[in-house]
Every structure is written in C-alpha cells, then in structure tokens.
Chains A and B, each alone.
Chain A
C-alpha cells in the first residue's frame, strides 16, 4: 500500500496545493466571516512566517523544529501500526531529563553539555514510550489509552519537578533554573534564534527516511504496519518485537524534541513548555502521509503558520488560536479528500461488510 502511494508523483503536488489553498483562501474567508479585516491579517501572517530573513530563521524554522521531530515520532509509530498519541508526554519526559542533566554540577561547568542532555532526553522519551509499548506487547493494552494516561502523568511529574526538586533557587515561580550557557545548543546564524536543533531534526528525518526505505529493520516496520497478520504468517518477522522497537524509537524522537526545545529555545523547564507539540505532530505526520521527508516539508507549513499567527495577533489583533482551526481543517480535509489517509491506520480487526463498493 505504502509503496504504491509513494510512486504517485502528482499527489505531493496536490497536497501542497491543498495546503496552499486552505491557507490562502481558508484563512481570509474565516477571518472575514468573523468580521476581521483579512488583508492586514494576511500580510501579518506572511511577514511573521516567510516574509523576511528574520521571520524565517527566528520564527518559522525555530517553530518547525519541535513539530518536525514530534511529527517524525508519530509518523514512525503509525507506519508500524502503533497509535502513539503520547508524543506530548514523551516530549515532556525528554525536556525534564535534559533539564536534570544540565543541572548536574559535573556537566554544568566547562564543556558544552548539550549533547549529553539531548541523549538523555531521547532516552527518557524512549523509556516513557517503552511503558506503553510494554503494556501493549505484554497485556495487549490499547496504546491510545495508555499514552493518554502517560501524557497526564508526565505533565503532573513536570509540575512536581518545577515546584520541587528542580525549582529555581528563589522558590517563587513554578519553573526550573535557567540552564547555563555552556549547556545550551549553539546558534547557527548571526542575529537569529535558529539553533543546532533544527539541523538535528532534519538529520533525523533523513535517517528515518533512509532506514524505512533501505534497511531490513525499516522493511520489517513497514510490513508490520501494513499487515501484521501477513507479517506474522510469513514467519520471518517478530511482530511484537518490531512494534515495540518502533514505539520506543518514536518516543525517543519525541523526547529528543523536548530536550532540543529546552536546550535551544526555553532554557528552563515549566509546565507549559509544550503548547501541544505532541498533538501538532499528529497533524504534521498526517499531512506528510507518514513520509519522513514529507514531515520536513509539512513541519515548515505548521511552523510557518504558528510563527505567522503570533505576528497576526500582535499586528492585526487576530486571535492566534485561529491557527488551530486551520490545522484541524487541513487534517479533516485530508481525511475527506484522500481515501488512503482515512484508511492508513486500519489494522487487524473486524471490518464491517457493507453494501458499498470497496474503495481500494
């Protein structure tokens, strides 16, 4: 199924047109319907997202980085038939681990400690996902449910950490101390907020693409996701092991996103460090059709939208939550417009025989 999908060339173009269309026509229509002046709002959206060197490097690319990684996280899990909607919790676990590591006196002092923090973040995210993976493999617990629960637990744990062990020295604000300069990710460009995490995210996407397409592990993952029963029957694939591995890797990517956001952007841990990056990752992955390279492109779309929305609110008085509407419309539009997008996640289980003609 996925092989055939990737061979159709016009589809990415169609998708790009669809996104362009919903942004270029959907947003003005929506704004006009709400009684806003669409013209200045759209100009602000453009200025804040792609309109200048500063907007691109300090806005869009910085915003795209976390959702590129969470999108990748979701894409890899979904490709393996795992419904990891816990990227949010794994992101928090990664951010919390990166904070703790960056606070260690040994690491704090001299050399750049960000690589250590990033690895810790990825491990923490992977471990957080491993709980759900284990529950799925061992007790057949639906990962949709377990990851929702783990998202809450992660949020409360961060809430505890920033009021307890990791709270800033004055004990006033529910946030951690700002991490030392040596512990931060290096900036890539002069006078820009763009940090090395962006390159790491792109590299991760390339690696994921390579692994999925050209390695045996990638083949196993795709086979299990496409048809777990057939994979099991074929006898050469350990289905449970493959899904568990994919789940953990997916969590590690989301954890890495959290660690990068912490060491590259916020420099401190607090409860709202993720404004829903884990959930946006689902939309990013869907728009990309679960293709790692597509994730890079679609994360730029969502990064641009969110960066532009901030400018829209500041310059044109349009509430920035309007972007959530556009994101939802894009996802719903994808569901409606592409039959495969609807069905990509159907796994083993009963399907209703219906009187309708089969679609595929």
Chain B
C-alpha cells in the first residue's frame, strides 16, 4: 500500500517536473518551428530567450507579472528585429547573425543585470505567477495535479500545438509559409510576399522565444540569473529537428527532452547514483540518429538556412 502511494507521488512529481521543464521549451521550439518552416534558421534563439528573461525581470520589478510577460515578448521581438534587419534586410548569413545575437544578449543582459542590481550579491527576487488549478481536471489522480495545476502559461503552451497545427494545415498563411520554406522562388512567383512572411515569422518566433524567457523568470525562477537560458535555445533547435518540423512531433520531442531532465532531478532526489549526464545526453544522441534516418527519413524544409 505505502509502496504504491509513494510510487504515485513519485510519478506525479516526475510528470510535474516534465511539464515544468517543457513549458518554456515548447514556446521556444514553436517559435523556431515557425521560422524554420519559413526557411530561416535562428541559431540566436538562445539570445532571444535570454533577452526575454531579462525583459521579464525588468518589467516585473517595475510593473508586476503581467507587465513582465509583455516586456518579455517585447524583448524577444526586439532581438529578432535585429536578426531580421541583418538577414532579411542586409542579406547577412543567418548562422553568423544568430551567433552574434547570442553573444550580444549574453553580454548585454549580464552587464545590465550587474549594473542595475549589483553583482554577486543576493539575487533580487520577484513573485512568481501562482499555479492555477483547473476545476475538475486537476482532481484526476496523479495526472491531474501534474498537468492541470500549473501556471497559466502552461495552459497556453498546451493550446499552442493544436493552434500551430491548424495554422500550418488549414490556413492560407500557413500554406504560404510552408511554401516559402520549401521553394521561396516558386512562392514568390506565385505572388506570395516572401519577405513579408519571413519578417512576420521572425517576429512571431521572437515573441515566443521571449515568452519562453518570461516563463523561466516569472513562472519558475522568480529572479534573473546570468546566462539563465542555459542552452535552452539550442535544445529547442534540436527539438524541432527531432520533431521533424511538425507541431505534434515538436510536442512529443519537447516531452522527451523534458522527461530526461525531470528524471535526472528525480534520481538525484531519490539518491539514486545514476550517471545522469549520460541520460541527459540520450535525447541528443537520439536526435542525431533520427537525422541519420534511423526510424524513417527526416526531411528539413528544403530552403532551410539556404542549404539545399
């Protein structure tokens, strides 16, 4: 009896941790999915998340949580505006621009944080957005509290995937975007405003990346830490690949990456001496294997990063 209760608690903790880790990743990966379907590759996503996180922190210290989310989105959009100016405006290389943006965000947020809030001292903390339990669903044993007693942003994340699927499959804009990602010249010839769509995709990716940073600060950490995105931007890129540039695939891949992280915390909490670095490396190895065609061919958008 006690064993099963403990097992249920652990399972709930594991699930809850998975969802918590997954929320920011899902926002970031959705943004990357959109921009990659438009044939652009944003290596600077890490910088976008970091910018969003700092924006959220700055906003929340002055105007509360909701304002923090809006400044997070704004910061993400600003970073991606720079990306758009360099790549779409000047025709600069996407990879180089992205690398520079990550460096820029890392340096700027780190410097500003230390300047505004002092370096090395106690972290300035802000109140995090509280979990909102959904009436009936949250009562379901094990799954309920893990899935349906989360911060509001998580519910947005749940809705994001079907929304994306619907946009890609059922709307004119989604079709145009996919066409641009496969064959921009053909799309242009068909009268699709390629640059306009790419700009829009870039800004939406910025908003979602910024939101990911916002979730990190406002729903989870409650403070800003230098380099707190901690590679999530790159993880999101891997997620899009493993998810085969498909919304549902991205959702599943996000869960896989998050589950390994959650498993690691669980193992540490239980005192299991697991070489958890190897577990954490697994999803990356799996993504590589998927790219190599194990388990079916993976085909990126044909025009991605201008490589055929």
Query: Interface on A for B, CB 8 Å cutoff?
Result: 34-36, 83, 85, 131, 135, 138-139, 141-142, 144-146, 148-153, 156-157, 159-160, 163-164, 279, 282-283, 286, 319, 321-329, 331-332, 335-336, 341-353, 359
CB neighbours (8 Å) of B86 from chain A are: 332, 335-336, 342
Q: A144-B43, A160-B275, A319-B119 are in contact. Are A332 and B291 (CB under 8 A)?
A: no
CB neighbours (8 Å) of B220 from chain A are: none
CB neighbours (8 Å) of A359 from chain B are: 91
Give min CB distance, B222 to chain A, whole Å. Answer: 22
B100 contacts A342, C-beta separation under 8 Å:
no
Q: Does B34 contact A (CB under 8 A)?
A: no
Q: Does B114 contact A (CB under 8 A)?
A: yes
Q: Does B265 contact A (CB under 8 A)?
A: no
B277 contacts A160, C-beta separation under 8 Å:
yes
* Best-buried of B183, B226, B292, B307 by chain A (most CB within 10 Å): B307
* Best-buried of A36, A345, A350 by chain B (most CB within 10 Å): A350
Give min CB distance, A82 to chain B, whole Å. Answer: 11
Which residues between 267 and 308 of chain B lie within 8 Å of chain A, taking CB atoms? 275, 277-278, 280-281, 284-285, 287-288, 291-293, 300, 303-308
**Other A-B pairs, 18, CB within 8 Å; known A144-B305, A359-B91:** A85-B99, A138-B292, A142-B305, A145-B241, A148-B43, A150-B288, A152-B231, A157-B277, A279-B102, A282-B99, A319-B111, A325-B103, A335-B90, A335-B92, A335-B100, A336-B86, A336-B92, A349-B306
Q: A282-B99, A325-B107 are in contact. Are A149 and B288 (CB under 8 A)?
A: yes
Once bound together, how far apart are the Cα atoms of A322 and B106, in whole Å?
9
A146 contacts B291, C-beta separation under 8 Å:
yes
CB neighbours (8 Å) of A138 from chain B are: 292
Q: What class of interface size applies to chain B in its complex with A?
A: 35 or more
A349 contacts B303, C-beta separation under 8 Å:
yes
In-complex Cβ contact of B41 among A36, A144, A347 (8 A) = A144
A135 contacts B275, C-beta separation under 8 Å:
no
Once bound together, how far apart are the Cα atoms of A59 and B59, in whole Å?
39
A350 contacts B291, C-beta separation under 8 Å:
no
Q: Does B133 contact A (CB under 8 A)?
A: no
CB neighbours (8 Å) of B231 from chain A are: 152
In-complex Cβ contact of A153 among B107, B285, B293, B300 (8 A) = B285
Give min CB distance, B307 to chain A, whole Å. Answer: 6
CB neighbours (8 Å) of A345 from chain B are: 93, 95-96
A352 contacts B194, C-beta separation under 8 Å:
yes
* Best-buried of B100, B112, B114 by chain A (most CB within 10 Å): B100
Once bound together, how far apart are the Cα atoms of A151 and B287, in whole Å?
13
In-complex Cβ contact of A85 among B95, B119, B277, B304 (8 A) = B95
Once bound together, how far apart are the Cα atoms of A222 and B188, in whole Å?
32
A142 contacts B111, C-beta separation under 8 Å:
no
B284 contacts A279, C-beta separation under 8 Å:
no
B114 contacts A319, C-beta separation under 8 Å:
yes
Q: Does B234 contact A (CB under 8 A)?
A: yes
In-complex Cβ contact of A135 among B92, B195, B288 (8 A) = B288
5 sampled A-B residue pairs with Cβ under 8 A: A34-B115, A85-B99, A152-B231, A321-B106, A352-B188
Flag B220-243 by CB within 8 Å of A: 1 or 0 each: 000000100001001101100100
Q: A135-B291, A325-B104, A353-B188 are in contact. Are A153 and B90 (CB under 8 A)?
A: no
CB neighbours (8 Å) of A152 from chain B are: 231, 234-235, 238, 281, 284
Once bound together, how far apart are the Cα atoms of A270 and B41, in whole Å?
31
* Best-buried of A160, A328, A341, A344 by chain B (most CB within 10 Å): A328
Give min CB distance, A230 to chain B, whole Å. Answer: 15
CB neighbours (8 Å) of A341 from chain B are: 92
Once bound together, how far apart are the Cα atoms of A359 and B292, in whole Å?
38
A346 contacts B291, C-beta separation under 8 Å:
no
Once bound together, how far apart are the Cα atoms of A145 and B165, in whole Å?
23
Once bound together, how far apart are the Cα atoms of A34 and B117, in whole Å?
12
Q: Does B210 contact A (CB under 8 A)?
A: no
A342 contacts B91, C-beta separation under 8 Å:
yes
B234 contacts A324, C-beta separation under 8 Å:
no
Give min CB distance, B276 to chain A, whole Å. Answer: 8
Q: Does B213 contact A (CB under 8 A)?
A: no
Q: A160-B277, A345-B95 are in contact. Are A352 and B184 (CB under 8 A)?
A: yes
Please, which residue of chain B has its CB at the minimum distance from the CB of A321? B110
B300 contacts A156, C-beta separation under 8 Å:
no
CB neighbours (8 Å) of A35 from chain B are: 115
Once bound together, how far apart are the Cα atoms of A310 and B210, in whole Å?
30
CB neighbours (8 Å) of A157 from chain B are: 277, 281
A153 contacts B281, C-beta separation under 8 Å:
yes
In-complex Cβ contact of B96 among A151, A160, A331 (8 A) = A331
CB neighbours (8 Å) of A328 from chain B are: 100-101, 103-104, 107
Q: A328-B107, A350-B308 are in contact. Are A148 and B238 (CB under 8 A)?
A: yes
Once bound together, how far apart are the Cα atoms of A282 and B280, in whole Å?
27
Give min CB distance, A29 to chain B, whole Å. Answer: 13
Please, which residue of chain B has its CB at the minimum distance from the CB of A326? B107
B110 contacts A142, C-beta separation under 8 Å:
no
Q: A324-B106, A328-B103, A351-B306 are in contact. Are A149 and B287 (CB under 8 A)?
A: yes
